[in-house]
Amino acid sequence: MLPEISRSMLKNSLVLGLFAVTTVGLVALLQQATASRIAAAERAAQVRALAEILPQGSYDNQLLDSSVAVHDPELLGSKGPRPAYVATKDGQPSAVILRATAPDGYSGAIELLVGIRADGRLAGVRVLGHKETPGLGDKVELSKSPWILGFDGKSLSDPDEAGWAVRKDRGQFDQFAGATITPRAVVKAVHLTLQYFDAHKQELFAAQVNPHG
Ligand SMILES: Cc1cc2nc3c(=O)[nH]c(=O)nc-3n(C[C@H](O)[C@H](O)[C@H](O)COP(=O)(O)O)c2cc1C
């Protein structure tokens, strides 16, 4: 038989232990739920952006089911393989949409979706995720400003090498008032993505596309 004080200590320890286990479990559950909500939101943003970049009618395959894995830390800023979506029309490649990361935003990496038509011109660029400052760097989002539409139709040779910079660096792309770092990072990443496309377009378009994405 335990003395009264030991029994009380045992009871308190059990209650405390149970509390700790329940709390850890709840936090883990919450974390998992949040992670899957973020993943679902990113997927939704990606589907929306894909549809915006390539208008219906410019391809006739199932874009999300037609991808090849690509990886290039230097030109795409990727940390591992990512899907490149290959659009075809009447069996001919019409465009590719690449995921790219601009590592040097004001507050960290900026995730991009870059659509490039078979002729090497940009079909469109959209920001999938960023941590830039509201009212300053977040103007790279189409919902905040039309700035990102300035890439439409541009290519590796239009503008030329020097033109692929913000105006403050004597390039052709506008910066924002009081925020040069964010647009500079995005312009650089899009330029590098065009270089990736130029170096790999044959294999991208010739690749056996994975029918399951
Ligand atoms: C609180 C705070 C947040 C800022 N957020 C951004 C941002 O999101 N993007 C950006 O380009 N600059 C941002 N800036 C401004 C940059 O520090 C920098 O002054 C600006 O981009 C101009 O860069 P430049 O001197 O290279 O032209 C922020 C500044 C402060 C003080």
Cα 141 to averaged position of ligand 1 atoms, centre (Å)? 16
Q: Note the pTM of the prediction, 2 decimals.
A: 0.82
Q: Looking at residues 133-140, what average pLDDT do you find?
A: 97
- Closest atom, ligand 1, to C-alpha of 181: 11
pLDDT at residue 208, rounded to an integer: 53
Q: What is the pLDDT of residues 42-83, one digit of tens each?
A: 777 777 888 899 988 889 998 888 899 999 999 999 999 999
Question: Which of 138, 180, 186, 187 is the pocket-test mutation for ligand 1 (most atoms within 8 Å of CB)?
Answer: 180
- Closest atom, ligand 1, to C-alpha of 185: 11
More confident residue, 66 or 124: 124
Cα–Cα–Cα angle for 186, 108, 125, rounded to 5 degrees: 25
Residue 104 has pLDDT above 80, yes or no: yes
pLDDT at residue 142, rounded to an integer: 95
- CA-wise closest residue to 189 among 126, 103, 127: 103
pLDDT at residue 213, rounded to an integer: 45
| DSSP annotation string for 12-28 | HHHHHHHHHHHHHHHHH
pLDDT at residue 42, rounded to an integer: 72
Residue 207 has pLDDT above 80, yes or no: no
Q: Domain-by-domain residue ranges, the chain?
A: 1-53, 56-206
pLDDT at residue 30, rounded to an integer: 92
Cα–Cα–Cα angle for 104, 48, 55, rounded to 5 degrees: 105
State the pLDDT confidence band at 105, using cuts at 50, 70 and 90: very high
pLDDT > 90: percent of the chain? 75
Q: What is the pLDDT of residues 185-195, one digit of tens each?
A: 999 999 999 99
Cα 181 to averaged position of ligand 1 atoms, centre (Å)? 6
